[in-house]
Structure 1
Amino acid sequence: MKVAIVGAGIAGLSCALRLQDAGHRVTLFDKGRGAGGRMSTRRIETLAGIAAFDHGAQYLTARDPGFAAAIGAWEAAGVVAPWPAAGDDAWVGTPGMSMIVKHLADRTDVRWQHQVTALRHDSAGWHIAPFATEPFDTVVLAVPAEQAAPLLADHDPVLANAARGCHASPCWTAMFAFAAPLAIADDIVKHAGIIGWAARNSAKPARQGPEAWVVQATPDWSTTHLEDPVDSVVNHLLAALAEQCPGPMPTPIVRAGHRWRYARAVATDLGCLWNADLGIGAAGDWLLAPRIESAWLSGRSLADHMLAD
């Protein structure tokens, strides 16, 4: 098969590598400038060095034996390491979460900065708009449900409705760097006022640079303030972090914000979506649970369905 995959995150890459291993040709299209997506690592130059922030997914765990084996291979490749502060089974990408995606993407044909706006199907196969490519035999949508639904709508209303029925909550995230360590005892703060999660990113394995914190707001607060100006959101999250710091908190040398519109998917048991007659399907964490492992499993499951057909 000649396969097009829209989205080069964990789900898309998992699906792609499974199909490649079976001898099929796969091309991935991703609107991003490079590997990462919701596993991105942002780096900001400061006078104290480069501050790094895993401002999306914070860590990963494994329950499935196949995914645990994948983590073992990534550890051997030097792109993950345990992070005991988040739990005995927590792992992080090294030196950033985005390295996991980059490691996988390096083994595939990814077209970065290629935002797919439409799909067209005819007797020759699938055409990926607006790009001039040869037609593909099958197409996979490995993007959030809210982005998959409109692409599916003109071709399979049933799959489109399944995507519409899956929703994700947003997450406002702030990033702060400081010239000196904060007096917060723990490297992780959870469920503290409007803070859903905050972590001393610079304390993760293989990190360098100044004291760096990632602060993520709760889903409810993020939803209520979804359209607020970024400066206002950053100010609120900085104040919330200051409440966790004994004594005065120093002025940050870096302050930045990022809005994730589709951060945490509602768990379903669909696994993946696949129309064998048309050769179109979808994969992602929104089809299982809001975990990196779920995205990987969904991509593998879809690839297995495609290979079986």
Structure 2
Amino acid sequence: MKVAIIGAGIAGLSCALRLQQAGYTVTLFDKGRGAGGRMATRRVETPGGTIAFDHGAQYLTMRDPDFVAAMQGWAAAGVVARWPAAGPDAWVGTPGMSAIVGHLAAQTDVRWNTHVTALRKTATGWQLDPGDAALFDSVVVAIPAEQAAGLLAPHDAAMARVAADSRSAPCWTAMFAFETPLAIFDDVLKDRGIIGWAARNSAKPGRDGPEAWVVQATPDWSRDHLEDAAETVVDQLQAALAAQCADALPAPIVRVGHRWRYARAAAGESGCLWNAGERIGAAGDWLLAPRIESGWLSGRRLAEQMLADA
């Protein structure tokens, strides 16, 4: 069986690895330049060296036994570590959140820089557009719900409606680096005015370099200012961070903004979606809950469903 998976995030990779275990040939396609997605790590060059910011998902937790087992394997591989500042059950990727998906992607066949815009069902299998003449027995859509709806609509209207009804919350994120530590006692700040979350990124395990902060606006503020210029947003988030500092905020040596249009998925109930007749499915955290573990579980459940219907 040959399977194409659109999206090489945690859901797509989880699905791919389970199918590979069963002997399937799996190819993933992702529009990004490398592993990350919402678990991305942004690297910025400075005169003092490279600074890495986790500007998407900040940490992960584990509850499900299967995910616990997977995490134990990642810990043995040295790609995750505990981060008590975010909670007693919080873990982070090391040396960045993208290390987790990078570790998984290295075990699969991923075609980066490939933005699939349409799926074509032929008499002999599935083809991707853009793409070559390769045919696949099944196709999986493992991207944010808003993007998944368009790919699914021509082939399964019910799946497309589930995706279209799942609306992600946006998030404006700012990244700052400073030559000296900030006079902020805690490494994590939550719900401080327009700040939904801020973290001293340089305090996470496995990080080095100068003082680095990631500041994420609340969903409501991000939605209200979604189309604002990045520079304006960064100014406001810098002012909000300064308000949490006991001393005057020093001039940052790095100021970068990033707009996540689809940051936090809404909770879903399906777990995964699968049309055995057409052999098309969907996976993602939007089908369970807005957690990294949920994305992994959704991909895994879809793989199990595909194997059961083979």
Measured against the shorter chain, the TM-score band is over 0.9
Whether the 8 Å contact between 1:138 and 1:279 is mirrored in structure 2 is yes
Deviation by residue 1:251-274 (Cα, 9 ceiling, x = unmatched)? 000000000000001111110010
Cross-structure match for 1:93: 93
Where do residues 27-38 of structure 1 align in structure 2 (5 Å cutoff)? Answer: 27-38=27-38
2:102 equivalent to 1:102? yes
Q: Is the CA contact (8 Å cut-off) linking 1:51 and 1:211 kept in structure 2?
A: no
C-alpha deviation, 1:48, in angstroms: 2.3
Structure 1 counterpart of 2:185: 185
Asked whether the equivalents of residues 50 and 210 of structure 1 are also in contact (C-alpha less than 8 Å), the reply is no
The answer for the alignment partner of 1:159 in structure 2 is 159
Letter in 1 for 2:39: M
Q: Which residue of 2 aligns with 1:121?
A: 121
What is the alpha-carbon distance in structure 2 between the residues aligned to residue 281 and residue 117 of structure 1?
16
Give the Cα separation in 1 of the matches to 2:45 and 2:134.
42
- Tell me what 2:60 maps to: 60
Displacement of 1:203 in angstroms is: 0.1
1:149 corresponds in structure 2 to 149
Q: 1:133 Cα deviation (Å)?
A: 3.7
Structure 2 equivalent of residue 195 of structure 1? 195
- The Cα offsets for residues 166-199 of structure 1, whole Å up to 9 and x where unpaired, read as 1100000000000010010000000000000000
3-state SS, counterpart of residue 3 of structure 2: strand
Partners of 2:104 and 2:229 in 1: CA distance:
35
Pair 105,133 (structure 1): closer, same or farther in 2 beyond 3 Å: farther
Q: Which AA in structure 2 matches 1:308?
A: A
Amino acid at match of 1:210: P
Match of 1:234 in 2: 234
Which residue does the alignment assign to 2:136?
136
2: distance between equivalents of 1:252 and 1:28? 39
Matches within 5 A, 1:219-230: 219-230=219-230
Identity %: 71
Query: Secondary structure of 1:164's partner?
Result: helix
CA distance in 1, matches of 2:48, 2:194: 29
> Which residue identity does 2:222 align to in structure 1?
S
2:204 & 2:183 partners in 1: Cα distance? Answer: 17
Q: Which amino acid aligns with 1:238?
A: Q
Taking the aligned partners of 1:50 and 1:118, their CA distance within structure 2 comes to 38
Name the counterpart of 1:2: 2
Letter in 2 for 1:67: F
The alignment status of 1:249 with 2:249, answered yes or no, reads: yes
CA distance in 2, matches of 1:43, 1:31: 19
Trace 1:6-17 onto structure 2 (pairs within 5 A): 6-17=6-17
Q: Which runs of 5+ in 1 are unaligned?
A: none
In structure 2, C-alpha distance between the alignment counterparts of 1:300 and 1:120, rounded to whole Å: 25
Is 1:53–1:201's contact at 8 Å kept on the other side of the alignment? yes
- Alpha-carbon contact 1:15-1:303 (below 8 Å) kept: yes
**Distance between the aligned counterparts of 2:54 and 2:254, measured in 1?**
14
Deviation at 1:50, TM superposition (A): 1.6
Instruction: Report the Cα distance in structure 2 between the residues aligned to 1:5 and 1:113, rounded to whole angstroms.
Output: 14
TM-score by length of 1: 0.99
Residue 128 of structure 1: SS of its match in structure 2?
strand
Once the two structures are superposed, what CA deviation does each residue of 1:8-63 show, in whole Å capped at 9, x if it has no partner? 00000000000000000000000000011110111111122221100000000001
Matched, 1:42 2:42: yes
- Amino acid in the other structure paired with 1:121: K
Runs of 4+ more than 2 Å apart: none
Counterpart Cα distance in 1 of 2:123 and 2:19: 23
What's 1:266 paired with? 266
Partner secondary structure for residue 70 of structure 1: helix
Compute the RMSD of aligned alpha carbons: 0.6
Structure 2 match to 1:293: 293
| 1:48–1:179 CA contact under 8 A, matched in 2 | no
The aligned residue for residue 205 of structure 1 is 205
SS at match of 2:206: coil
Structure 2 segments unaligned to the other structure (5+ residues)? none
Q: Which residue of 2 aligns with 1:82?
A: 82
- SS where residue 104 of structure 1 aligns? helix
Equivalent position of 2:302 in the other structure: 302
Aligned to 2:21: 21
SS at match of 1:5: strand
TM-score by length of 2: 0.99
Separation in 2, partners of 1:302, 1:45: 40
